Amino acid sequence: MLLERDFTLCSQSTHYWFKQYEPRSPRSIYLVLTLIPILGLVFGQGAFSLSFGHILKGYATYYATLLLSVVLYRISPFHPLADRPGPFICKITKFWGAYIAFKGDTHRYYQQLHQRYGPIVRVGPNELSIVEKDAIAPVLGNQGMPRGPIWDGRRFGLLENQNWDSLIDCRNQEEHNKLRKPWNQAFSGGPIKDYQPILEERGQQLVNFLNDACVDGHGTLDIAKWISCFAFDFMGDLAFGGSFNLMRDGDIDGIWQMMEEGVILPNIVGQIPWAWVMIKPLPVIAAKRNDFTSWARTQAQLRLEMDTRKKDLFFHLYEAPARASGVPLESQMDLVVANSLLTIIAGSDTTSTTASAIICCLLGCREKFARLRAELDEAFPLTEADDGPPRIEMDILGRLPYLTGVVNEGLRLAPAVPSNIQRSPEDGSGGRLLIGTGIFIPEGTAVNIPAYSIQRDPRYFSPSPESFIPERWLPDPEGRFTTNKEAFIPFSHGPSNCAGKPMAMIELRFIIAMLVHRFDMCYKGFESASPEVLLKRQQAWFDGLKDRFVFSKDPLEVEVKPRWRAKPAA
């Protein structure tokens, strides 16, 4: 009994340590879980009377009582989140959340939990998911909270001497604000104008390639893949001066596949971020991570050596500030590489999925496709000229109400980051009261506001919050729709929102306008299908979306017919 008592005390001490401190160092975790049982053996049994059986029994007792202590505390009325409803398994462990993330179902799972338990759900031992619009500003706004622990599990590990790699995973708010300044400047009005010719060139290239893919005036292709290649090429132009050419050559170097696979593990480990420090040194994991970062480093170095006059994102984000400060850009290459990876992943996967979702929805509802086509034809009238269709002017696109409604509705149904916009009270703050809500967030509690769930909440978007209805974003004098823009957060909210939002909106409007204006399209094999069958096909594609922090998507096979002859692809 003496041995069991000593190990119970040891396990309780360890549990207390884990509650008081957020373990991030694998060394400290290993030492605590290894040395404390030894101390219990020495003091409980005596250093010279230990046998293998005593050691085995001691460690088994220690780990069993530690596990029991943790579980009992997490489901007890003494836990700070004891009064918050949620599944029993979520209260016990975040390994369940990691399993859901592994399946790619976090967005749907959170929505189902909110439908069952209400607007505030305990989704982890120390994590809440909230779908109250009044909580958005105090959680994400100017006076909100810094990023939560999920971001510790999503690092590339390039900057080993600090707790962040790039803007997106910096949890210190003061440091984040410093890192954010050049991004705000790089996506301000002047630079945005510099990027538009690059976007226009890539858009025309996409149209030309789609025309070439149409044999005898029509063709069948995966439009989601083509949109992804377009977005990836455009982001490559911005981040590295242009070097990918996936539309022209395909993914011959496996870059796209590398990126798609590269977000899966961080999305899972983000649910158990303390595990990242133990997983990342594993040879297989380290090799894949090194391949990805080495590729980005090579691209950054090539861009640095280019004699280019294009004022791309690389110029505005790195070259111009380096010239102004006199600090050699080569000395900041780790940060450049991390930010470039952020640009490629956040800028291509996100817009390509939303654009694909919009096309899917328009094909699922012919009258909405026709209404958007009519608006575009009025803005850019058709001609019989052999030198090509009228130029799509981006300044005009921003003034087209139905196009804006279509894009907003796509962002509502398929937000870039569907489920993990996580924040947490500052260390040492004691917690945070969310002003205007009466909700108190204890220190050490992560708070998640899932865009996918809140943007489909019938309190804020009705009727038919699951349906694609661009009209809900238009003037509504008859009061047919509830459209609460305060609950619309596809780019997050506040000072840590998506820095590239202005460019993303321009890109989405442009690519949708180009495709709808230049091509007739329908689902492959569904040309004569009824509206009910088309909606089922649309829903089947949405059911295939996987939450990998950003969405991954299935192919979207469509039949395409150019509206007029185009020049051969370059």
Quick one: pLDDT at residue 107?
97
Average pLDDT of the segment spanning 438-452: 95
**Mean pLDDT for the chain overall:** 86
Average pLDDT of the segment spanning 133-153: 91
Q: Which residue has the higher pLDDT, 177 or 290?
A: 177
What is the C-alpha to C-alpha distance for residues 73 and 433, in angstroms, rounded to an integer? 24
- For residue range 458-495, list pLDDT tens digits in order: 999 999 999 999 999 999 999 999 999 999 999 999 98
Phi/psi of residue 366, nearest 5 degrees: -60, -35
pTM of the entire structure? Answer: 0.91
Whether the predicted pLDDT of 250 surpasses 70 = yes
Quick one: pLDDT at residue 311?
80
Quick one: pLDDT at residue 386?
54
Q: Is residue 7 a contact partner of residue 58, using CB atoms and an 8 Å limit?
A: yes
Whether the predicted pLDDT of 153 surpasses 80 = no
CA-based R_g, the chain, Å: 26
Average pLDDT of the segment spanning 210-220: 88
**pLDDT above 90 as % of the chain:** 51
229 is in an annotated binding site: no
Q: Which CATH code, of 1.10.10.60, 1.10.10.10, 2.10.109.10, 1.10.630.10, is assigned to 173-416+490-562?
A: 1.10.630.10
Domain-wise residue ranges, the chain: 1-75, 88-141, 173-416+490-562
- Which residue matches tokens 């170097």? 253
Whether the predicted pLDDT of 241 surpasses 60 = yes
28, amino acid identity: S
Quick one: pLDDT at residue 158?
55
Output the CA torsion 354→355→360→361 (10° steps): 70
**pLDDT above 70 as % of the chain:** 87
Quick one: pLDDT at residue 410?
98
Question: 22-57: buried (b, 16+ CB within 10 Å) or exposed (e) per residue?
Answer: eeeebeebeebbeebbbebbeebbeeeeeeeeeeeb
Whether the predicted pLDDT of 413 surpasses 60 = yes
Quick one: pLDDT at residue 559?
96
Quick one: pLDDT at residue 310?
72
From the list 513, 509, 535, the residue with the least C-alpha distance to 374 is: 513
